[in-house]
Structure 1
Amino acid sequence: MTSPHPDTWMRVTPKGLFCEPAGVYIDPSRAVDRAIISHGHSDHARPGHRAVLATAETLAIMRARMGADRAGGSQQAMALGAPLDINGVTIRLVPAGHVLGSAQVVLEWRGSRIVVSGDYKRAADPTCAGFEPVPCDVFVTEATFALPVFRHPPAAGEIQRLLASIRLFPERCHVIGVYALGKAQRLIALLRQAGWERPIYLHGALIALCELYESLGVPLGPLLPVPPLQKRGKAEAGLAGEIVLAPPSADSTPWSRRLADPVSCAASGWLRVRQRAKMRGIELPLVISDHADWDELLATASDVQAPEVWITHGREDALAYALGTRGIRARALHLVGRGEDEDEALPEAAPEPAPAA
């Protein structure tokens, strides 16, 4: 008996990818009855679903960000690699290497297999399990950095550039713009691996998720909130020679006045394009990404041995053309609500939460 092609049982709807025989959506853009969530970033994890299936870490992140009452009417934690049968569809979650709890969704029905990667990276990350390629008939991939210009350098080398700058400017504070979920914690862990044992100071908007990571078993070392403004408008010590993590662009707000002549830094894959750093006044751009770069996207398509690749968001045309030259059929899905890149963007800073009474 011939196995059905995945496009006969997995289809694109206005709400997102829908597995028809299982009656379940993968990372839907609107509230649905049953959803499988690949990871906790808000362009994949939306509030209001009646039932949610995800890793325990992703469910914890959703509750922390949305509130328990909006993270799913019922929530089912699924261990990585454990199979689950829904109406004859076998479902497994395998590591995606993107952020803590991130998973690829593997679905098999009548001998046909499709893997929905969510967002992923191939580089090592001390804060989450590494990507595992799964051979399949159709691989669903992102294409955030699907242009040849995007080739991410080793993250350890970028951390060494940061430490060299701190040695060169000991009288200044280094403020690094990072996204609150994934990037902040990865940067902290990379600094610890590089031997930075001193406290790392956090903008208030980053504290809750760092505490959550630690509660989920990811050690981050000593972390402290940035001291409040003193009467004369400056922190007592200004944190000269220290590292501060903050939402992107926080250093351009009045919040930064408490810091000692801050060096503006940011960590993002987009900073491979130097003009982006120049336009935003970033003195020290750190090219550290939680997404696969051009070479990794192509290598992954080869590793999973899929004759067909579906592209959810990003630079679809370039990736589809490159895969076609390698004999792989590729098409863009144009899913609604994707491509926001909230974990890689450099938006205006979020306000710092007010201190508790």
Structure 2
Amino acid sequence: MILEDFITISPVGLYCVYGDFYLDPLQPVKEAVVSHAHGDHAIGGSQHVYCTAATAAFMKHRYRKFAAVDFFTKHYHQSFQLKEVTVTFYPAGHILGSAQVLMEYKGVKYLYTGDYKIEPDKTCEAFEFVEADVLITESTFADPETKHPSPVDEIKKLNETRANIMLGAYALGKSQRIIQLLNDHCPTRNVMVHFSIMPFVKIYEDYGIKLGNYSMYDRKVMKNNHENQVYIVPPMVFHSYHKAINVVRAFASGWKNLQQQNGISLYISDHADWEAILETISKVKPKQVWTLHGDGKQLKDYFKNKLEVKILN
């Protein structure tokens, strides 16, 4: 029997009372199961953190000694117990080390996706479809009007100009994916990276991810070469240099508002779009779908009288 209170939402985050742990808590807790290392899912200060090794490495860099009291790193497919709940991680395809969290209790399987994408990405583990009774899915882009274009077609847009490009991208996950895409599809570009992104790049390489050629940003190189330079910067730097001259601006994101006032729109998302969410539901074969991190109303309408959809947020 599916338990409606298996996962509940509190100001601290998603709580599983039957295992006495939180999923991606928003505040420090005793037992935290962390799906991936982005700051809106992984905070510092919890006592026990269960996650993949890569996620732990990113958190240790970001939060230093305040990352956690103790990390318990787990391989994909390696099951462990939290009270009476059996927990297993599966690849989520979002960033390196990102995990779906399968929770089994009294014969019922609850699958929390965290953030995910199902399209190919050389910089992280491929998404794995896992059957479950309840699919707890992010719904960031759960809108029939949203279809993410091919990331290859998007990155090739940069070949349409020879001008230098200031390219905004999140420091963890997106930047590394962009470096790889640039190396594969924009071979004439010299890729430079903001210093704050470099530690995450090094962790990717420590885990055997081959990103291609890049270097630390050098102001003289950018100043003396007026063509074919791409400077990858985190969002704060991108927005603070809004009036930067002699560069074309682009920001790698699935959000339309982040494409405004840029020279090139660059729709590269690390989240599932509408069709990907529907495909995931089809292959997970859940009896119920619970939605998080977005608006689940359109999914609820789409599956009306066919599948129970519960909006948790």
Q: Do both share a fold (TM > 0.5)?
A: yes
* Paired position in structure 2 for 1:30: 27
User: Per the alignment, in what secondary structure is the counterpart of residue 130 of structure 2?
Assistant: coil
Name 2:50's counterpart in structure 1: 53
Match of 1:132 among 128, 133, 138: 128
- Where does 1:2-21 land on structure 2 (aligned, <5 Å)? 4-21=1-18
Give 1:105's aligned residue. 101
Residue in 1 that maps onto 2:203: 212
Question: 8 Å contact 1:313–1:332 — kept in the other structure?
Answer: no
Equivalence for 2:166:
175
Secondary structure at 1:205 match in 2? coil
- Stretch of structure 1 that moved more, 109-118 or 246-255: 246-255
Which of structures 1 and 2 has the bigger CA Rg? 1
Deviations 1:265-301 (CA, angstroms, capped at 9, x unpaired)? 1111113xxx6533xx101011110000111112211
Is the partner of 1:7 in helix, strand or coil?
Answer: coil
Aligned to 1:345: none
User: Unpaired segments of 5 or more residues in structure 2?
Assistant: none
Q: Secondary structure of the equivalent of 2:66?
A: coil
**CA separation in 2, counterparts of 1:75 and 1:320?**
37
Q: Cα deviations across residues 30-75 of structure 1 (Å, max 9, x unaligned)?
A: 11100100000111101110000000000001111111x2111000
What are the superposed Cα offsets for residues 13-45 of structure 1, whole Å, 9 maximum, x if unpaired? 332222222211111111110010000011110
Structure 1 regions of 5+ residues with no counterpart?
335-357
Distance (whole Å) between structure 1 residues aligned to residue 303 and residue 46 of structure 2: 35
Cα 1:185–1:299 change in 2 (3 A) is same
How far apart in 2 are the matches of 1:221 and 1:149? 34
Q: 2:87, 2:104 → 1: CA distance?
A: 7
Change (3 A) 1:328 1:192: same
Q: Is the 8 A contact 1:18 1:24 kept in 2?
A: yes
1:6 touches 1:113 (CA, 8 Å); kept in 2? Answer: no
Please tell me the residue identity of whatever aligns with 1:100: L
Q: In 2, are the aligned partners of 1:113 and 1:138 still within 8 Å (CA)?
A: yes
- Which residue in the other structure is 2:302 paired with? 322
| Letter of the 1:266 counterpart | F
Pair 252,128 (structure 1): closer, same or farther in 2 beyond 3 Å: closer
Aligned to 2:147: 151
- Asked if 2 retains the 8 angstrom alpha-carbon contact of 1:142 and 1:311, the reply is yes
Question: 2:96 is matched by which residue type in structure 1?
Answer: L
- Conserved 8 A contact 1:120-1:290: yes
Q: Distance in 2 between matches of 1:236 and 1:284?
A: 21
Q: Distance in 2 between matches of 1:251 and 1:28?
A: 29
**What does residue 265 of structure 1 align with?**
250
Corresponding letter in the other structure for 1:72? A
Q: Percent identical across equivalent pairs?
A: 33
AA partner of residue 5 (structure 1): I
Letter of the 2:252 counterpart: A
Query: What is the aligned partner in structure 1 of residue 270 from structure 2?
Result: 290
**Residue in structure 2 matched with residue 70 of structure 1 by the alignment:** 66
Q: Structure 1's 9 and 162: CA in aligned 2 closer, same or farther, altered over 3 A?
A: same
Asked whether the 8 Å contact 1:158–1:287 carries over to 2, the reply is yes
Q: Which amino acid aligns with 1:81?
A: H
Corresponding letter in the other structure for 1:141: T
CA distance in 1 between counterparts of 2:13 and 2:237 reads 33
How far apart, in 1, do the equivalents of 2:277 and 2:175 lie?
Answer: 24
Distance in 1, Cα, partners of 2:266 & 2:278: 24
> Could you tell me whether the CA contact under 8 Å between 1:27 and 1:36 is conserved in 2?
yes
Q: By how many angstroms is 1:253 displaced?
A: 4.0
Q: Give how far 1:223 is off.
A: 1.8
Q: 1:277 maps to what in 2? A: 259
The equivalent of 1:241 in structure 2 is 228
Tell me, yes or no, if the aligned pair for 1:176 and 1:248 is still in contact at 8 Å.
Answer: no
Q: Is the 8 A contact 1:250 1:256 kept in 2?
A: no
TM-score, normalised to structure 1's length?
A: 0.82
> 1:328 deviation in Å?
1.4
Distance 1:236 1:159, change over 3 A: closer
Contact 1:117 1:141 in 2 (8 A): yes
Q: What CA RMSD, in Å, does the superposition of the two structures yield over aligned residues?
A: 2.1
Give yes or no for contact 1:116–1:140 (8 Å, CA) kept in 2.
yes
For 1:71, give the aligned amino acid.
A
Cα 1:219/1:239, change in 2 over 3 Å: farther
**C-alpha separation in 1, matches of 2:21 and 2:239:** 43
Q: Is the 8 A contact 1:298 1:323 kept in 2?
A: no
Distance in structure 1 (CA, Å) of the matches to 2:303 and 2:47: 37
Instruction: Please tell me whether residue 114 in structure 1 is matched to residue 114 in structure 2.
Output: no
